[in-house]
A and B are shown apart, each in its own frame.
Chain A
Amino acid sequence: MKILVCISHVPDTTSKINFTDGDSKFDTNGVQFVINPNDEFGLTRAMWFKEKQGATVHVVNVGGAETEPTLRKALAIGADEAIRVDAPATDGFSVAKQLANVVKEGGYDLVIGGRESIDYNGGMVPGMVAKLTGANFINTCIGLEIDGTTATATREIDGGKETLKAELPLVIGGQKGLVEESDLRIPNMRGIMQARKKPLNVKEAVDANAETEAVHFAKPAPKGDVKLVETVDELVDLLHNEAKVI
């Protein structure tokens, strides 16, 4: 089984979010980048398929050379090979088109993406890749088993979960639950050394038009100070008469 894990290169959760160039671009100054958390759960599940079922695991990112340390980290966690499509990650659709090309050329059976990236929260790339490549698609995936060419997946739904079955090739939008937080792997020295020798192939971009363009960013208005109250009577009164939420 050939698995492709799509890795989004995103600012660490604790990063200060600021914008530059007249609030038209994200300010990467001093920002630490990491593997998108939803993708890391998927990558860790892919490692399980590699170790238990002999799968080959490739990782891919669409972006400039600055994203390579994030791909190296994925290699250090255990992926066999990395691909960087040398194109700016302009919008979800253009990224999906680049990825679809990688999927078609590589003949992957399973493509694992994240439910959403924690930067632009688009949540659209895995579904679009599936549609563009004609693969089946399952989103918000919290459990995945592969038996031969059949996948059984658990999907989180509002208020519960459901079990779905589909044939490969399959694309999933994964999240926590594919593996648990405690299953995530911190690369060790051996992994880091090996990662340096593993292939990181830079692939030329195909033509991919962006369908959307973020033109302006803004931060929410600063929040007022918390109103501290002494008694529950006061709290209930404020929630009813001031906030009008009960």
Chain B
Amino acid sequence: MSILVYTESEEGKYKKIAQEAVSFARGIADKMDMSVTAVAINGGDASELEKCGANKVLQVKDDALKNFNAAAYADVLAQAAKKEEAKVVVVSSSANAKFLAPLLAVNLDAGYVPNVSELPESTSPFKVKHSVFTNKAFATTEIKTDIKVVGLAKNAYGVHENHADATIEDFAPELSSDDYNVETVSVDKATDKVTIADAEIVVSGGRGLKGPENWDMIEEMADILGAATACSKPVSDMGWRPHSEHVGQTGKPVASNLYIAIGISGAIQHLAGINASKTKVVINNDPEAPFFKAADYGIVGDAFEVVPKLNEKLKEFKAQNA
């Protein structure tokens, strides 16, 4: 019996969330005395998974699976789960993982809990802690089915190196034409920018920046820090920045290590979307801005004075710590 884990890669390289998911699967496997089988669809170098504790890597190489396809990928995972007699299937919290997980859960008659932040509190009964009410609370939920699907919250568990010698096996699931009923017409993805989903640091601007022409200093800070840029809802509603940068309850969720909010007052919907971030910094000229109550560090001051100074200081810091 095993713990199965879906590992995501991009252009032949595993994503950090793949290593986090394998580390988490290893943690569950140790509690249940089972082994870890990773499923890699057109994946990368298996040693990347081995070092986080995968005992076996099922490699699926198929050009038809070049583009992500939720139904087909869910079918691959379901067949792998049956073959490996998986008791638990671990997936990440990426947009793709959240797309396929419900399909997989129904296929396996498995109960599914997403946004899980810690190893199971107990494995019999199987109880996991996960965030609810958009990070305003946690729930402990028991999964009662024989097979369980667990979605690991972003940036919650981390990568744990725990080397296992993995057997690598080619796996060719039988996919039907029904798996390809949803067809990808085109993919529009900026490859030169850090995405909000993958970023360790997110630099975000709000209405306090007064206009889209003032975003250069935000972009500059993001460049210096290797961060993604984001914005508040009013900013995307006014068309100052693209919708894809909107973070908050109805926008993208953020769970970065560092979130820097510049000229954002901190409406409750905004805070709900970003408060899974570990360290929050606010720069705002209004000391009464609600963001100061949610932040770890703050500077009360005019963004147009503080940000250029901060960028200079960060450059200096990066030069010294390169």
What residues make up the interface of A, taking CB atoms closer than 8 Å to B?
A: 11, 13-14, 17, 19, 37-38, 41, 91-93, 96, 118-128, 130-132, 136-140, 142, 152, 155-167, 173, 175-177, 180-182, 210-220, 223-224, 226-230, 232-233, 235-236, 238-240, 243, 245-246
Across-interface contacts of B132 in A (CB, < 8 A): 119-121, 214, 217
Nearest B residue (CB) for A142: B243
What residues make up the interface of B, taking CB atoms closer than 8 Å to A?
A: 68, 70-71, 94-96, 98-103, 105-107, 110-115, 127, 131-145, 181-190, 193, 195-198, 200-201, 225, 233, 237, 243-244, 246, 249-252, 257-258, 268-269, 272, 278-279, 281-282, 292-300, 306, 309-310, 312-314, 317, 321
Known: A121-B115, A167-B181, A226-B282. A218 touches B105 (CB 8 A): no
Across-interface contacts of A216 in B (CB, < 8 A): 139-140
Q: Are A164 and B201 in contact (CB under 8 A)?
A: no
Q: Is the interface of B mostly helix, strand, loop or mixed?
A: mixed
Instruction: Give the A-B contact count at a CB cut-off of 8 A.
Output: 255
Q: Most chain-A Cβ atoms within 10 A of its Cβ — which of B68, B102, B134, B137?
A: B102
Q: Are A128 and B140 in contact (CB under 8 A)?
A: no
Q: Are A220 and B138 in contact (CB under 8 A)?
A: yes
Across-interface contacts of A11 in B (CB, < 8 A): 133
Q: Are B139 and A223 in contact (CB under 8 A)?
A: no
Q: Are B142 and A246 in contact (CB under 8 A)?
A: no
Nearest A residue (CB) for B294: A223
Across-interface contacts of B193 in A (CB, < 8 A): 159
Q: Are A121 and B114 in contact (CB under 8 A)?
A: yes
Known: A215-B142, A235-B310. A245 touches B95 (CB 8 A): no
Across-interface contacts of A163 in B (CB, < 8 A): 184-188
Within the assembled complex, what's the spacing in Å between the Cα atoms of A14 and B225? 33
Known: A157-B96, A219-B136, A233-B313. A162 touches B112 (CB 8 A): no
A-B contact pairs, 7 of them (CB 8 A): A140-B95, A152-B185, A156-B244, A158-B196, A218-B138, A220-B137, A228-B297
Across-interface contacts of B105 in A (CB, < 8 A): 93, 124, 128
Across-interface contacts of B250 in A (CB, < 8 A): 37-38, 41, 175-176
Within the assembled complex, what's the spacing in Å between the Cα atoms of A229 and B299? 6
Within the assembled complex, what's the spacing in Å between the Cα atoms of A58 and B306? 52
Q: Are A232 and B299 in contact (CB under 8 A)?
A: yes
Across-interface contacts of B190 in A (CB, < 8 A): 159-160
Q: Are B103 and A130 in contact (CB under 8 A)?
A: yes
Known: A139-B70, A152-B185, A162-B184. A239 touches B281 (CB 8 A): yes
Nearest A residue (CB) for B269: A13
Smallest distance from the beta carbon of A233 to chain B beta carbons, Å?
A: 6
Nearest B residue (CB) for A13: B269
Known: A233-B313, A243-B297. A139 touches B99 (CB 8 A): yes
Within the assembled complex, what's the spacing in Å between the Cα atoms of A177 and B252? 12
